[in-house]
């Protein structure tokens, strides 16, 4: 489902560029549920994530929400609004406890001017994110709920994400991420349990048969 960045931006930078970027920021800590930035707000800063996970969510005029992605250590969020001067296109909220570096827009733009290779990396990261969004939209329009859920669970498993992230993802979050209802996700999880593909507990999903889950995702 492309919920995670294919290549976290900070890890793609040269060590010297990464150090310079982080040194330009102000350290902050966010607790679960606290927004880092809000959709529609006119703000001029970017956030470099060092510890923890955030959820990127877009709210439509009809009241429906869609999770666009999950961002974790090494990711940068908020750069689009800083570069084009437009309101935020999504809300980014802490999913787990987070430690970040907040960079004012002016400092971030100066950093890009002074570090050409980092500028290329940022542009590449934005292009990859746009491709992921396109693929995500295609999946939402063409795949059944069971297959969408299987792809999302594989995506989460491939990241090696920590247990704190997994425990924070409710059935509602999973449903929002794949553009489905909570009831349909509950039915799909029940189906996967009955096949012995996974087991579920207190806010926990354990994949018992990764090969079977991958086969369902690729149907």
46 pLDDT more than 90: yes
Q: How far apart are CA 167 and CA 150, in angstroms?
A: 18
Place of tokens 């606290």: 34
CA angle 70, 50, 156 (to 5 degrees): 30
Tens digit of pLDDT for each residue in 8-44?
A: 788 888 889 989 998 889 999 999 999 999 999 999 9
pLDDT value at residue 1: 47
pTM to 2 decimal places: 0.78
**More confident call, 167 vs 193:** 193
CA angle 69, 200, 35 (to 5 degrees): 30
Tens digit of pLDDT for each residue in 55-72?
A: 899 888 887 888 888 888
Which domains are seen in the chain, by residue range? Answer: 9-140 (2.60.120.10), 144-217 (1.10.10.10)
Q: How far is residue 209 CA from its own chain's centroid?
A: 25
């Amino acid at each position: 489902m492309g919920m995670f960045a294919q290549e976290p931006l900070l890890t793609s930078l040269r060590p010297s560029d990464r150090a310079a970027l982080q040194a330009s920021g102000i350290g902050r800590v966010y607790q679960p549920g606290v927004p880092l930035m809000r959709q529609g707000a006119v703000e001029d800063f970017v956030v470099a994530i060092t510890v923890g996970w955030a959820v990127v969510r877009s709210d439509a005029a009809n009241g429906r929400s869609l999770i666009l992605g999950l961002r974790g250590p090494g990711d940068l969020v908020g750069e689009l609004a800083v570069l084009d001067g437009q309101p935020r296109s999504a809300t980014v909220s802490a999913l787990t406890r987070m430690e970040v570096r907040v960079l004012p827009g002016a400092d971030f733009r100066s950093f890009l001017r002074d570090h050409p290779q980092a500028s290329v990396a940022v542009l590449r990261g934005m292009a990859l994110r746009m491709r992921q969004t396109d693929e995500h939209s295609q999946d939402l329009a063409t795949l059944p709920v069971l297959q969408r859920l299987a792809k999302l669970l594989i995506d989460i498993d491939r990241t090696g994400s920590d247990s704190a992230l997994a425990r924070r993802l409710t059935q509602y979050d999973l449903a929002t991420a794949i553009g489905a209802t909570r009831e349909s996700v509950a039915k799909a999880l029940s189906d996967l349990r009955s096949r012995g593909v996974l087991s579920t507990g207190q806010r926990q999903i354990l994949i018992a048969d990764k090969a079977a889950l991958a086969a369902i995702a690729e149907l």
